[in-house]
Amino acid sequence: MKQPVSCESILVGDQIPPREFGPLTIVDTVRWAGLQENWQHLHYDRDHVRQHNGLWTFIASGAYRQALLVRMLTDWIGPRGWVKKLSVRHTYSTFEGDIMRFSARIIEKSADSSPQSIVCDLEGTNQDNRQILIGRCTLLLPPRV
């Protein structure tokens, strides 16, 4: 069983274990569009985006990419931790076939406050190392038991 994250073992500058997802498929985007009730052709219709958007294929929704980013964070902090704050800016699209790689670096750590928290800079890149998103989050670490 994975040991819970503890503030004592975390240092400013540490990296949260990165995660990789993909390649992006039409099944991924159609499932997510259905979940969100987001019927924009941009997320599943290759012919439509070629004709009307000037793209070669469909793209992932920003919310889908954010969900994968949050999955990386919550997998690390565990079920008793919390994502308190999240701010993300999308910088480039994720296209069919792309890989999404997410990483986080700790830039602040609370002193002796309860609950203990950390602030992280976030980044997402694709298989070509092109940045797809940047952001920042505050995580509340699980209480010690």
Residue 135 belongs to domain with CATH number: 3.10.129.10
Q: Give the pLDDT confidence of 89-105 residue by residue, as tens digits.
A: 999 999 999 999 999 99
By CB atoms closer than 10 A (0-12, 13-18, 19+), residue 1 is exposed
Q: Is residue 61 part of a domain?
A: yes
**Does the pLDDT at position 85 exceed 90?**
yes
65 in any annotated domain: yes
Within a domain: 59: yes
Q: How large is the average pLDDT for residues 25-45?
A: 89
* Percent of the chain as helix, strand, coil, to the nearest 5: 30, 30, 40
Which residues, in sequence order, are bridge partners of residue 4? none
**pLDDT reported for residue 145:** 59
From the CA atom positions of the chain, what is the Rg in Å?
17
- Tell whether 7 is covered by a domain: no
Q: Is residue 114 part of a domain?
A: yes
State how far the alpha carbon of 86 is from the alpha carbons of 12, 78, 125, 141, in Å. Answer: 18, 17, 18, 15
The bridge status of strand 82-90 relative to strand 117-125 is unpaired
Mean pLDDT of the chain: 92
**Residue 4 — pLDDT band, cuts 50, 70, 90?**
low
Say how many domains are in the chain: 1
Share of the chain above pLDDT 70, in %: 94
Query: Residue 73 falls within a domain, yes or no?
Result: yes
pLDDT of residue 1: 44
Q: Is residue 145 part of a domain?
A: no
Classify residue 2: in a domain, yes or no: no
Kindly report the pTM of this predicted structure: 0.91
Contact 18, 103 (CB under 8 A): yes
Q: Supply the pLDDT for residue 49.
A: 94
3-state secondary structure of 123: strand
What is the pLDDT, as a whole number, of residue 115? 81
Nearest to 65 by CA among 93, 30, 85, 42: 93
Q: Which domain holds residue 23?
A: 12-140
